[in-house]
Amino acid sequence: MRTASAQASASFPPEPVSAREARRFLVSFLEGHERPELADAAVLALSEVVTNAVLHAHTPFEVTALLQPDRTLRVEVSDRNPQLPVQRDYPQQATTGRGMDLVAALTAECGVVGRGAAGKTVWFVVHPAPDGGGEDGEAPLAGWDIDLLEGAGSAADGRSVLLLGLPPTLWLAAREHHDAVLRELALFGAEHPQESPTQERLALADRARAWVSARVVAELDRLTPSDLHRALPAGHPSLLPETPVALDLEVAVTDDDGGGAAFGALQDVLDVAERLAVAGRLLARPGLPEIVAVRDWACEQVVAQLSGVLPSPWPGTGLERFTVEVHDREPPERPQWDAGMVSDAERGAVAADDANRIVAVSRPLAAALGWKVEDLVGRRVVVLIPPEMREAHVAGFTRHLATGEAHALGVPLRLPVLRADGSRISCDFLLEQAPASGGRPVYVAWIDPVDEPLASEPAPATPTR
C-alpha cells in the first residue's frame, strides 16, 4: 500500500447490495476531500470490481480509498478468495465477461495482487484526466496482471481426472450460459434466499466452473494450427470454425479446487438455475438439452473418477434422446404467429421456436425427408441435422439466444439434411426470423433439395415420438 495524503476503508458482506453501499462510501470520501471530478470513472470501475467480488469471491471484502500525494486516487478491493481474476475470451456480443476490460478502459492503471491463502487485492488508479486505458492503441487488458490459467492443474498437483472427447465448441457455449445463469442466480438469491443455494455452495460451484473452462481454453491455446480441424461441410456457420471436434483432457483435482464436492455443487446449483429459468424467474433463457448434458457429463465424470470409476467418453449429441421434445426444461407456452406461412407453403420450409422445437413444417419438405408432418412437429430441429454437425448448431444457437449474434440469418447456405431413414440430402437454405407475439422469436428455414439423397447411415426402423 502506497503513501497517501488521505485514506479511508470500509468492509462489506458478499451481497449484491454491497455494490451500492461501496459506491456511496467512495463518493462520500471523494466529496469530503474535494475531489468530486474523480467520482464518475472511479465509481463505475468500483462497481465492476465489487460485483466480481460478490459473484465470484463469495467472501467479505474491504474497500480502501487513497488520495495519493499527486492528488490521484487509488482504490483497492481486498477479498479472502485466493483465486485470481481470469481473462475470458468472450466475443463482442457476449452479455458477460468484460468487467475487467471496462475497468481498464476507465482507469489509468489497474491490476491484481495475490496474497496467497489470505486472498487477493484488486486495485486501480484514476487521474483527474483518465487516459482511457493505455497508450498507442494498447488493448485495455494490457494493464492487468492476471493469471489466465487459473485452475488448470497438472496430474502432479492432485488426483488425475480424464475428460475424454470433451467437445470444446459446445463446452465454450455452455460456459457462457453457465456464467449468465450463475450471475442471475446470485442476484436472485439476494431477494429470495430461501429458494437459492447458500453462498458456500455458490462458491464451490463457481470454482468448478472456472476449473474446467480454464483447462479447455489452455488446451486450445496449446494446439498448433495444423492440429485444429472440424468435420463440417465448407461454409457451415459454426461458432468456432477452427476448433477441434473433441479434446482429451488430463487434469488434476486438488483439495484446493474443492474436489468432487465442487462438481457436485456445480451440478446442483445449475439445476436450481435451470428450474428458475424455465419458470421465467431469471433473465437468462434455459439451457438447451445438449448444454445441460455436457455439463452433467463433465461433473459426473469428475465425481465418479475421484471415487475410482474408469473414465467414460462424452457420448456426443447424435443420440435419439436429443431429438425429442424435452418438456421439463422448456417453456410450456408456444409463441403465437402465423404458422400457415410454413404449413401451407408449396416449397420446403420448417419453423422452430426459441426452444429449438419444430412448430411447423411444409408437406413438400416432410415428404422429401420421409416424415409425416405430425411426426415432425414437436420434435427438436436437431432431428434434421447430421449428428456431427449438431454440436456446432447448438453452440451457435445458444450464443444467438444469449447475445443476438446471428451469423446464419439471411445467408444462403448449402448443407446436408438428415432424412428419417438416416440418409442425407443436400439442400439450399435460407434462414429468417419471423415475427411472433409475446416477444418470443420463431425461426423459419426455407429449404430446397438440390440432389439425390447421400449415403445412408443406420437409423431407427420407425420414427417415434
HEC string of 289-309?
Answer: HHHHHHHHHHHHHHHHHHCCC
What letter does residue 57 receive in the DSSP assignment?
I
For residue 281, pLDDT over 50 is answered with yes
Question: In the prediction, which pLDDT does 225 show?
Answer: 53
For residue 78, pLDDT over 90 is answered with yes
Phi, psi at residue 74, to the nearest 5°? -115, 130
Inter-residue contact 87 to 141 (CB < 8 Å): yes
Question: In the prediction, which pLDDT does 419 show?
Answer: 93
Question: In the prediction, which pLDDT does 87 show?
Answer: 53
- Give the long-range contacts of residues 404-410, CB within 8 A, separation 24 or more: 404/93, 405/91, 405/93, 406/433, 407/237, 408/237, 409/433
- What are the pLDDT digits (tens) for 370-400? 999 999 999 999 999 998 889 888 988 888 8
What letter does residue 355 receive in the DSSP assignment?
T
Inter-residue contact 273 to 181 (CB < 8 Å): yes
Question: In the prediction, which pLDDT does 280 show?
Answer: 84
* DSSP reduced 3-state for 25: helix
For residue 256, pLDDT over 70 is answered with no
Question: In the prediction, which pLDDT does 271 show?
Answer: 93
- What are the pLDDT digits (tens) for 158-201? 688 899 999 888 888 888 888 888 888 888 887 888 898 887 88
- pTM for the model stands at 0.70
Tell me which H or E stretch contains 42: helix 39-52
Domains of the chain: 6-143 (3.30.565.10), 155-316 (no CATH), 340-453 (3.30.450.20)
Of residues 371, 384, 388, 365, the one with CA closest to residue 449: 365
Phi, psi at residue 328, to the nearest 5°? -85, 0
Inter-residue contact 89 to 83 (CB < 8 Å): no
What letter does residue 332 receive in the DSSP assignment?
S
Q: How confident is the model at residue 241 (pLDDT cuts 50, 70, 90)?
A: very low
The grid coordinates listed for 132 are 482511457
Q: How confident is the model at residue 48 (pLDDT cuts 50, 70, 90)?
A: confident
- Cell 468530486 found at: 36
Highest mean pLDDT among 34-38, 144-148, 403-407, 434-438: 34-38
Tell me which H or E stretch contains 373: helix 373-376
Any alpha helices (H) in 369-412, and if so which ranges? 373-376, 387-403
Inter-residue contact 402 to 435 (CB < 8 Å): no
Question: In the prediction, which pLDDT does 244 show?
Answer: 58
Q: Give CA separation, 343 vs 305, 338, 346, 356, in Å.
A: 49, 9, 9, 17
Average pLDDT over residues 109-135: 78
Question: Cβ-count burial of 410 within 10 angstroms (0-12 exposed, 13-18 middle, 19+ buried)?
Answer: exposed
Q: How many CB atoms sit inside 10 A of residue 395's CB? A: 27
Question: For the chain, what percent of residues have pLDDT higher than 70?
Answer: 76
Handedness of CA 402, 405, 409, 410 (dihedral sign): positive
Question: In the prediction, which pLDDT does 115 show?
Answer: 86
AA identity, residue 184: E
Phi, psi at residue 232, to the nearest 5°? -125, 150
Residue 352, beta-bridge partner list: 358, 443
Average pLDDT over residues 82-106: 61
AA identity, residue 50: V
Q: Give CA separation, 424 vs 238, 266, 302, 415, 459, in Å.
A: 19, 39, 37, 10, 11
- Cell 453452440 found at: 395
Q: How confident is the model at residue 233 (pLDDT cuts 50, 70, 90)?
A: very low
In sequence order, what E strands does 68-218 have? Answer: 73-79, 109-114, 120-126, 159-166
- What are the pLDDT digits (tens) for 209-225? 877 777 777 777 776 55
Q: How confident is the model at residue 413 (pLDDT cuts 50, 70, 90)?
A: confident
Average pLDDT over residues 27-35: 91
